[in-house]
Amino acid sequence: MPDVTKLASPLDVGGVRIHNRVFLAPMSGITDEPFRQRAHAHGAGLVVSEMVASGELAKGRAGSGLRIRHSGLPVHMVQLAGREAMHMAEGARIAVGEGADIIDINMGCPAKKVTGGYAGSALMRDLDHALSLIEAVVGAVDVPVTVKMRLGWDEGALNAPMLARRAEQAGVMMVTVHGRTRCQFYQGTADWRAIARVKQAVSIPVVANGDVGSPAEAASILDQSGADAVMIGRAHYGAPWTAGSIVAAALAEPVAGMPASPQALGDYVIAHYEDMLTLYGVESGLRQARKHLGWYLDRHAGGTSDDRRKAILTSFEPGRVIAFLRDMFSTAPEAANLRSAA
């Protein structure tokens, strides 16, 4: 097994110093400013914006600017998606103008609404076109450019090593590989050993992603992939401290900012809820926050009755939601053992 203390060491990405090697993955509709701030406060070494459509950003569409807004963290990393080189380049310039320190190109999203527009992981079906986007972004900005990809479109086209090699030659400074094909979506298990072929193909840092949510899994993915860092996505649902908990384990230290009691967890969830209402406004914030509240309830208050859960997730009255949350998390037995839940 590898020395997991490596995860707590810094990593250089094109001259940008990353504090440690456990990262929060970009997740559409999830890794907004309040979520990234929490993951960073708990110890995640790098946090990435939710995916931003470069065409919408270049055209000034409502909401796209909010996704790239600098949140005051030491490293501001913005992920762009798209299929037009002109829009990708302009989106990158706009993001850098807003303070982005690193631009990440999405070539891994499996969602049909993204791949149907020949973006995301669909780009892995046409590496020449994928490289034209990479070259456009690298040529447009002076900050490091990275790429997030999958193993390939399907089992018959596992071309991540080739894409990574060509991306490095085009000036990309780091690649992240999710250990599934696009056609797997999130089914089955991630193939951590397949990521090793990407690591062998390049000299830039490789980040391994897929099915990591614990210190033991982080150690295993490093061992099997030989990667330089790990990136964690869905394990953060209802637990923004997940990446930080892995760093803390590597250091044999407590998790920074971890709620220490059921009441503290209730306060934590309420503060997250209120921050989302502030960011989006009450009307939109209520809708945006519901998935997060559902995950917090699932993970830490599983005994919540269906009626109470429905009331929390459908109410249009923030004060009523907050009162319910305070009551739920003060009595939920699951909330009493937060460290095991992380």
Distance, CA of 47 to CA of 60 (rounded, Å): 24
Q: Is the distance from CB of 74 to CB of 44 less than 8 angstroms? A: no
Please give the distance of CA 76 from its chain centroid, rounded to a whole number. 13
Dihedral, 240, 246, 252, 253 alpha carbons, nearest 10: -20
Cβ neighbours, 10 Å, residue 85 = 18
Q: Is the distance from CB of 121 to CB of 151 less than 8 angstroms? A: no
Cβ neighbours, 10 Å, residue 294 = 15
Catalytic option among 68, 88, 102, 109: 109
The verdict on whether 109 is a catalytic residue reads yes
Distance, CA of 276 to CA of 294 (rounded, Å): 14
Three-state SS for 34?
A: helix
* Separation in Å, CA 267 to CA 79, 256, 329: 31, 16, 9
Distance, CA of 157 to CA of 32 (rounded, Å): 33
Dihedral, 219, 221, 225, 227 alpha carbons, nearest 10: -70
Residue with tokens 């990262």: 23
* Catalytically active residues, by annotation: 109
